[in-house]
Amino acid sequence: MTENPNAGCDLLVISPHSDDAEIGLGGTIGLLAKQGRRVWLVDLTRGELASNATPDERWVEAEAACDVLGVTGRAQLDLPDGFIGEHDARQVAAVVAVLRRLRPSWVVTAPDPVRHPDHVATPRLVTRAAFLARLATYDPGPVNARLWSGGAGFEAPADRWVIDAQFHVCPEGGTPDLIFDVSETWAQKQASLDCYPSQFSTHPASLPTHINTPEFMARVERRGRVWGRRAGCDWGEALCTGAVPVLTDLDQTWVGP
């Protein structure tokens, strides 16, 4: 991870819904936060279309997960659940406003961009916003967000901001550009997922969903094992990027085969 002295946070994870960051990157979030990195989570929507739990109930769960992971801050925007899109000027402006206030070095979108339309659209929305965030002539206006009460707040916006790197969580069968060894924080990831009983557990009033079955959690664990084996460790989380890394010196953090 690059050192940017002007950055307001080291890693910003942008996800469409609360719990998506934990599903896709909970081990990495916990690992970097444990190492003193400034990690922020931003949920684009309030999850108003969820089959189970209200937006307020899900936010309480998200705040509990923040405590478990030790993040610096978390914000939740009010973009329309189920209709995330990079061609909506209001949505783009909201993300630009966040980027200029948090001034992240790295931006990662989670979870992997498959199945759910919001998951597929989020990386494209963030890519457009990252481009516009660097244009001093573009004014995104204010941003409407609720902030985790236990974390940091937004700073005044920069006139422009250029991120150092953008990634997305690598889907199954994809080719990773890098893998984080999250062996020491995998249990922490699992604990953060346990903070969302409305989404991952069942009770008599629950509606069946794709994620509240034992098979889903087994799939999350299987993926962690697969990426871990690929990296030569117990548990791993993989990222992809559409950009080719550009170096001016030997990378001191590179780990060979």
Q: Which helix (H) or strand (E) holds 74?
A: strand 73-79
Residues 198-244: tens digit of each pLDDT? 888 877 777 888 777 889 899 999 999 999 999 999 999 999 997 77
Q: How confident is the model at residue 104 (pLDDT cuts 50, 70, 90)?
A: very high
Instruction: Give ∠ CA 97-124-41 in degrees, rounded to 5.
Output: 50
- Residues 47, 254: Cα–Cα separation, whole Å: 38
Mean pLDDT of 94-112: 97
Q: Which amino acid is at 95?
A: V
Residues 48-62: tens digit of each pLDDT? 998 888 999 999 999
- The most distant pair of C-alpha atoms in the chain lies apart, rounded to whole Å, by 58
How much is the pTM? 0.93
> Does pLDDT of 257 surpass 70?
no
Q: Which residue has the higher pLDDT, 154 or 205?
A: 154
> Does pLDDT of 255 surpass 60?
no
Q: pLDDT at position 86, please?
A: 97
Q: pLDDT at position 93, please?
A: 98
Task: Spell out the domains of the chain, with CATH numbers in brackets.
Answer: 9-240 (3.40.50.10320)
> Does pLDDT of 252 surpass 70?
no
- Listed in sequence order, the DSSP H helices in the chain are 20-34, 55-69, 89-102, 117-133, 186-193, 197-200, 214-231
CB 171 within 8 A of CB 112: yes
> Does pLDDT of 156 surpass 70?
yes
Q: Which pair of structure tokens corresponds to residue 144?
A: 């409407």
Q: pLDDT at position 253, please?
A: 63
Express as a percent the part of the chain with pLDDT over 90. 81
Cβ neighbours of residue 84 under 8 Å, at least 6 residues apart? Answer: 16, 44, 45, 91, 117, 118, 121, 122, 125
Q: Which amino acid is at 242?
A: G
- Residues 167, 239: Cα–Cα separation, whole Å: 6
Q: Which residue has the higher pLDDT, 1 or 198?
A: 198
